[in-house]
Amino acid sequence: MSLASQVRAARPTPDDASALRGGLRDAGATLDVVDHATCLTVPARVDAALVRGPARGPRGCGDLRRRGISGRMKLVILGASGGCGRHLVEQAVGRRHEVTAVARASSSLDAPTGARTLRGDLTSVAFLRDAVRGQDAVLSALGLRLPGIAPWQRPVDPDFLDRSTAALLEAMGAEGIRRLVAISAGGVGDSHDAVPAAFRAFIAVSALRSVYPALDRMERALLASALDVCICRPTGLTDEPATGRAVVARAIVGRGAIPRADVAAWMLDEVARPAFAAKTPMITVTGAAGAPPRR
Ligand SMILES: NC(=O)c1ccc[n+]([C@@H]2O[C@H](COP(=O)([O-])OP(=O)(O)OC[C@H]3O[C@@H](n4cnc5c(N)ncnc54)[C@H](OP(=O)(O)O)[C@@H]3O)[C@@H](O)[C@H]2O)c1
């Protein structure tokens, strides 16, 4: 659907039209004419990337703008040194967002040119307030580091997610930042029965048995907050190149896997165009059963 058709479908009020014009201007585009009754005459040179996919339902343009369609965003990426975090930083810079890559002091982190890096204690409210201040949204790729997957292995810092989640919620609340997209895992919470029995058994007998309850607590704390949260639950992560074929799956059959690069792309799409607010979509490239259509 063309931008003009989307704008028309949104039936904007005069305020909406003015907000849309502002959003396009921020993104370096212009509207030649916006008549709020017809809301037409959008120049062809408006970047198609500003609007990915159709606006759903009769929304105002103000709503489109709130949903991130204004283009460039200020994004904070927590856990920027991790597998998914590195992809998030690289892709966010590639999409021309203004990026702050955050990791603890001891992390190895080479953020690409164009990203600001910030190091500190990710369980400190004061540090996180500094990190999120003035930003549009937070992406979290934080997780628990495991020394190994054997049953006797335990996370290096078992309550890190509890402490960092509590601190992040306090920091975002205090700074008035509302939008967060975070990573959990397929099989956590109410997706437990949606993954294959063999994988459930693996969770139960491997070191994951101490990670999954921590992810579950993180999810509950985030979802109970007043924030605008989406927590994706990827299946098995790989370092394969991005496929662009990530889907939201109701259940997994066989081997569920998804490249970290696809997880990052999915999260960046979601932060720009929220479709799963207050939800915990399971995302995968392989093994999807009953997948709803792609976003
Ligand atoms: N592995 C899988 O197949 C799989 C499948 C589904 C979901 N997941 C989930 O997806 C998440 C992201 O995966 P990934 O491969 O990107 O994870 P990862 O490479 O282990 O990255 C975890 C991030 O969390 C940070 N972190 C961990 N403990 C910390 C602490 N005490 N203080 C500060 N930062 C800390 C790490 O920082 P440092 O670099 O400094 O350690 C790193 O940036 C995982 O954590 C897991 O919960 C994993």
Dihedral of CA atoms 43, 49, 52, 58 in degrees, nearest 10, equals -30
**Is pLDDT of 233 > 70?**
yes
pLDDT given for residue 205 in this prediction: 97
**Residue 157 CB–ligand 1 contact under 6 Å:** yes
Atom of ligand 1 nearest to the CA of 146: 20
**pLDDT 10s digits, 190-213:** 999 999 999 999 999 999 999 999
Listed residue (184, 232, 181) closest to 76, CA to CA:
181
**Is pLDDT of 294 > 90?**
no
- Residue 169: CB partners within 8 Å, gap ≥ 6? 221, 222, 225, 227
**Residue 84 CB–ligand 1 contact under 6 Å:** yes
What residues pair up with 237 in beta bridges, in sequence order?
A: 258
Q: Which of 88, 145, 192, 262 to mutate to test the pocket of ligand 1 (most atoms within 8 A of CB)?
A: 145
**Is pLDDT of 158 > 60?**
yes
**Is pLDDT of 175 > 80?**
yes
**pLDDT 10s digits, 12-36:** 444 444 444 444 444 434 333 332 2
Q: Which two tokens stand for residue 276?
A: 């799963």
**pLDDT 10s digits, 71-128:** 899 999 999 999 999 999 999 999 999 999 999 999 988 878 999 999 999 999 999 9
Distance 140 CA to ligand 1 centre (A): 10
**Residue 82 CB–ligand 1 contact under 6 Å:** yes
**Residue 124 CB–ligand 1 contact under 6 Å:** no
Highest mean pLDDT among 1-15, 35-49, 173-187 belongs to: 173-187
In the chain, what are the domains? 3-69 (no CATH), 74-289 (3.40.50.720)
**pLDDT 10s digits, 34-74:** 322 222 233 322 323 233 333 333 333 344 444 444 489 99
**Residue 93 CB–ligand 1 contact under 6 Å:** no
- Average pLDDT, stretch 184-195? 98
pLDDT given for residue 110 in this prediction: 85
CA pair distance 97, 74, nearest whole angstrom: 6
What does DSSP say about strands 251-259 and 236-238: parallel, antiparallel, or unpaired?
A: parallel
**Residue 23 CB–ligand 1 contact under 6 Å:** no
Rounded to two decimals, the pTM is: 0.81
Whose tokens are 């509590």? That residue is 166
**Maximum CA extent, the chain:** 66
Atom of ligand 1 nearest to the CA of 186: 6
Distance 267 CA to ligand 1 centre (A): 15
CA distance readout (Å), 38 to 4, 71, 187, 257? 10, 23, 47, 46
Q: Which of 168, 183, 184 to mutate to test the pocket of ligand 1 (most atoms within 8 A of CB)?
A: 183
- Residue 201: CB partners within 8 Å, gap ≥ 6? none
290 Ramachandran zone, left/alpha/beta (phi>0; psi -120 to 50): left
Q: Which amino acid is it at 37? A: A
Atom 47 (ligand 1): residue with closest C-alpha?
Answer: 143
**Is pLDDT of 133 > 50?**
yes
CA pair distance 75, 78, nearest whole angstrom: 10
pLDDT given for residue 29 in this prediction: 40
